[in-house]
A and B are shown apart, each in its own frame.
Chain A
Amino acid sequence: MVVSIAVLCAVPFFLREYYIGVATELLIFIILALSFRLVLTTGGWNLAHYVVMGCGAYFSAIMMKDFGWPFWASLPVAGLVTALVGLALSYPLARMREFAYLIGSYAMGEAIRLSWNKLDHPFGGPGGITDIPRPSSWSIPALPTIDFSQAFPYYFLVMGVMLVSLFIMYRIDRGLLGDTFKSIYSQDFLAESAGIDIAAYKRLAVVIGSFFAGICGVLLGHYHGTIDPAVFALGPLIILLAWLAVGGIKTFTGPIIGTVFFVILAEALRPLGAWRPLVYGSVLIGVLLFMPLGLEGLPARVSPWVKRLRRRIRGR
C-alpha cells in the first residue's frame, strides 16, 4: 500500500512529458475500470458506462466554459449529476436481466450519446466541445504556484482523486455491502429469497458506479481539452471490457492489473507501427485462452508449480 503510493509519486520524476500524460490517462482508466466492476458485481454489464462518463465530461466542460464555474466546483457536482443520470438509467436496468440488460443499457447510452451528436447547442454536435480549460492554478503564499495546465501537477491531481476513489470503492468491495452486491450476481433468486431487495441494490451499484464514471469523464475531458460524441462510443468500452477480461473481475486488483498491463503493452508496442494491432490482439487472445481466470488468477495457477519445484530442490 505505502509502497505503491510511493511508486505512484516517484513515477513522473522518471518520465518524459509524453509518458506522464500516458500515466495520467492510465490512472483515470483505473478508476473507470473499477467503477465498471462495481456495477458488474451485481451482474450488470452496463454498456452505457462510457456514455455515463461522457455525461460527466460534457457537464463539467459546459459549466466551466459557458458558466465560468471553477474546476473544483464542477468536479464533485459533475460526479453527483452523473450519479443522478445513473439513477435514472438504473430504474429500467434493475428490471432487466442478461441479454435484455446488454441491449437495454446500450440503447439508453446511445440515446444520450446521439443527442450530443444532434444538438449543436449546448453540446457542439459531432465536433463536440473544444478548448476545455484546465483547472486554474493554485497560488499558495510562500510556495511556487501550482499550474495544473502542466502535465506534472495534473498527474498528481489525478493521482489524488484516484486514491480517494479507490479507497471508497475498496471499502465497499470488502464490506457486507460488497458481498450483498456479489450475492446478486452469484444467485439472484437465492439473494431475493433471503430478503435482499435485489432491485434496490442493483440501482445503488449503478448510481455509485456512475458517480465515479462521471469523475473520470471530468478528469479526461480537462486533460485532453476536447471531447466529442465519438470518444464515448461503444468501441472504447469494448476495449475496457477486454482489460477487465484479461485482468479478471473476481478481485479488486484484477481490473487494475488488466488496465496497467494493456496500457503499458500498447505503449511498448508502439515501435511496431502497422503490426501493433495484430500483436496487441494476439496477446489478448492468448491471455484469454491460457488464463481464463485472468491475470489475477495467475498466482493460484503458478503456486503449485513453485511448490513442486521447491519440493524437487529439497528432495535433492
Chain B
Amino acid sequence: MALLELREVTKRFGGLVAVDNVDLDIEEGEIRGIIGPNGAGKTTIFNLITGNYPVTEGRIKYNGKDITGLSPHKIASRGLVRTFQQMALFNEFTLLQNVAVACHLHAKVTLFGTVAHTPAAQQTERQAKKKALEILEFMGLADLKDELAINLPHGHQRALGIAIGLAAEPKLLLLDEPVTGMNPTEKQHMIGLIRQVRDRGITITLVEHDMRTVMGLCEKISVLDFGKKIAEGPPEEILRNQQVIEAYLGAGETAA
C-alpha cells in the first residue's frame, strides 16, 4: 500500500479543468518528482493534497486513511506537510522563532501555563526551542538562529522554508519548486539537503521546473500536461518518452 494515494482526482475552477482524473501513488521512502509545462496543474495537485483547495471529484488517501476534505491543519498534524513556492516565511521572526512556532504540533501550550509559567509549560517552551535548534543545525542554519528571516539570502530562505516544514514532523514532505531561482552552487547544496531529509525517513514529493535537478534527484517522475498524467517512470524512461517530449516542445515542432 502506498503512503499517499490519489484516485481519479479532478479539480475544476468554473469551466476550467485544472486537474483531470489523476491517479497518483507515492511510496514510502521515495523522492518523487512531479513535472510538466506551465499550467499543467502541478501546484494545484499540492493544494488538493494538503486541503488548501477542496477536491471536485475523487478521493485522497494518506497512510491508509481517507483525508479528502480535511482542513489543512488537520492534514498537517497527520504528518503530511508542504512548503510554498513563494517566499512564505514568518518574516518578522528570528529563524529560531520561525521553526519553534512550527514545533507547535508537538509542543502544546496552554493559556494557564503561559501566564503562570508552570514547570510543564517552561519545559514545553524549552523543548520547542531545543528541537528548533536541532532542525536549524540539520539544515545548516544554526549560526543564523537569531537573524530575522527577512534578512536571509534567497538560498537560506528556501532552506528555512524546509526547516519550518520539518518542525511539523512530517512523514511526507511536499516541496513546491525548492530550487527555482537558485544559482548552481545553491542548487547543489539544496539537492544535498533534500537527500539528507529523505535519509531521516521522510518521503519527499517535489514540483520543480529545473529538469537537471529533477532528473538527478528523483527516483521516479510523474508528468502532467493540461491537468492529465501523461507519463510516469524513472528519469531515463521519462527523457525518452515521446508524449513527454511533445508536451514540452509542442506537437507542431516534432511533426515538422
User: Which B residues lie within 8 Å of A189 (CB)?
Assistant: 52, 84, 88
A195 to B121, CA, bound (A): 20
Instruction: Tell me the residues in window 168-222 of chain A with beta carbons closer than 8 Å to chain B beta carbons.
Output: 168, 171-172, 175-180, 182-183, 186-187, 189-198, 204, 208
A175 to B114, CA, bound (A): 6
Residues of A within 8 A of B (CB): 168, 171-172, 175-180, 182-183, 186-187, 189-198, 204, 208, 250
Q: B74-82, B201-209, B228-236: which one contacts chain A?
A: B74-82
Instruction: Tell me the residues in window 69-96 of chain B with beta carbons closer than 8 Å to chain A beta carbons.
Output: 71-73, 76-77, 81-84, 88-93
Interface residue? B117 (CB, 8 A): yes
Tell me, rounded to whole Å, the shortest Cβ–Cβ distance linking A34 to chain B. Answer: 14
The proximity string for B residues 31-43 relative to A, scoring 1 for CB distances below 8 Å and 0 otherwise, is 0000000000000
Report yes or no: A187 in contact with B90, Cβ–Cβ below 8 A. yes
Report yes or no: B115 in contact with A190, Cβ–Cβ below 8 A. no
Sample (7) of A-B pairs whose CB atoms are under 8 Å apart: A176-B128, A186-B93, A190-B88, A191-B90, A193-B52, A193-B72, A250-B92
| Contact A180 B90, CB 8 Å, known A194-B76, A195-B77 | no
Report yes or no: B168 in contact with A194, Cβ–Cβ below 8 A. yes
User: Which B residues lie within 8 Å of A178 (CB)?
Assistant: 114
A183 to B91, CA, bound (A): 9
User: Which B residues lie within 8 Å of A176 (CB)?
Assistant: 100-101, 104, 107, 109, 114, 124-125, 128
Q: Which of B73, B93, B115, B124 contacts A172 (CB 8 A)?
A: B115
User: Which A residues lie within 8 Å of B81 (CB)?
Assistant: 193-195
Report yes or no: A187 in contact with B88, Cβ–Cβ below 8 A. yes
User: Which B residues lie within 8 Å of A191 (CB)?
Assistant: 90, 101
Interface residue? B97 (CB, 8 A): yes
A226 to B142, CA, bound (A): 58
Report yes or no: B115 in contact with A192, Cβ–Cβ below 8 A. no
Report yes or no: A171 in contact with B165, Cβ–Cβ below 8 A. no
Report yes or no: A179 in contact with B101, Cβ–Cβ below 8 A. yes
Report yes or no: B114 in contact with A193, Cβ–Cβ below 8 A. no
Which 4 residue pairs are nearest across A and B when measured between Cβ atoms? A195-B76, A194-B102, A195-B105, A175-B114
Report yes or no: A192 in contact with B114, Cβ–Cβ below 8 A. no
Interface residue? B164 (CB, 8 A): yes
| Contact A193 B76, CB 8 Å, known A176-B124, A179-B93, A187-B89 | yes
Instruction: Tell me the residues in window 162-176 of chain B with beta carbons closer than 8 Å to chain A beta carbons.
Output: 164-165, 167-168
Instruction: Tell me the residues in window 100-159 of chain B with beta carbons closer than 8 Å to chain A beta carbons.
Output: 100-102, 104-105, 107, 109, 111, 114-115, 117, 121, 124-125, 128
| Contact A183 B114, CB 8 Å, known A189-B52, A196-B73 | no
Interface residue? B50 (CB, 8 A): yes
Interface centre among A168, A186, A190, A193, by most B CB within 10 Å?
Answer: A193
15 new A-B contacts at CB < 8 Å, known A189-B52, A194-B165? A172-B111, A172-B115, A176-B124, A180-B109, A187-B90, A190-B88, A193-B73, A193-B83, A193-B168, A194-B76, A195-B102, A196-B102, A196-B104, A198-B73, A250-B92
User: Which A residues lie within 8 Å of B83 (CB)?
Assistant: 193
Instruction: Tell me the residues in window 10-64 of chain B with beta carbons closer than 8 Å to chain A beta carbons.
Output: 50, 52
User: Which A residues lie within 8 Å of B77 (CB)?
Assistant: 195
A148 to B191, CA, bound (A): 70
User: Which B residues lie within 8 Å of A208 (CB)?
Assistant: 111
A176 to B124, CA, bound (A): 9
Report yes or no: A195 in contact with B104, Cβ–Cβ below 8 A. yes
User: Which B residues lie within 8 Å of A190 (CB)?
Assistant: 84, 88-90, 164
Q: Which of B71, B72, B92, B115 contacts A186 (CB 8 A)?
A: B92
Interface centre among A172, A179, A204, by most B CB within 10 Å?
Answer: A179
Q: Which of A172, A175, A180, A195 contacts B168 (CB 8 A)?
A: A195
| Contact A193 B50, CB 8 Å, known A172-B114, A176-B100, A179-B93 | yes
